[in-house]
Amino acid sequence: MPHTQRALIVIDLQNDYFANGKYPLWNTEAVLDNCVAAIERAHALGMPVILVQHVADSSKGIAPFFNAGSAGVAIHPRILAAAQQAPVVVKRAADSFHETSLQATLTELGIRQLLLCGMMTQNCVTHTALSRAADKYEVAVLADCCTTVDQMLHAIALNALSIRVPLLTAAEALA
């Protein structure tokens, strides 16, 4: 498949998930390095990159993190620097397709295959990969570009996801 029909979707690499954020996750610096490298490789291949940003739904009260206007809701500066021209899809639910512009963006770009990476493996990455809206795409998850609360939960989530979605490394997917 031509690289222009594939897109790298980077989900929720936001400040609250890193050290000094409101909900730091496991292995974030290694995953950040891997995601930046994946973005750079995608650019080299001419593959579109789309950033997804979770913003808490203020109608449901103040959330523990990702509140609009906070430093923690911002996409990590290294991701923004690596993907300066990437469209940003804002979501309020775990599924990156749910009530967002993701579907329209993918259609506009002529995308047929999705390479997913991001935070948290068992939540937003999994819900996006298994979304009914994702059924029309070939979907793969870049396992080395994802993380969550701890290594065990990450491994459990990837194992569960593996029966439905291929798990690849960034090097395999972006060769």
CA dist 173 to 94, 142, 167, Å? 24, 8, 9
Determine if the pTM surpasses 0.75.
yes
- pLDDT tens-digit readout, 151-170: 999 999 999 999 999 999 99
pLDDT over 90 at 109, yes or no: yes
pLDDT of residue 31: 98
- pLDDT tens-digit readout, 116-133: 999 999 999 999 999 999
- Among the four given CATH numbers 3.90.1010.10, 3.50.50.60, 3.30.2310.20, 3.40.50.850, the one describing domain 3-173: 3.40.50.850
pLDDT over 70 at 2, yes or no: no
Q: How far apart are the C-alpha atoms of 8 and 167, rounded to whole Å?
A: 14
Domain extents in the chain = 3-173
Q: How far apart are the C-alpha atoms of 86 and 71, rounded to whole Å?
A: 20
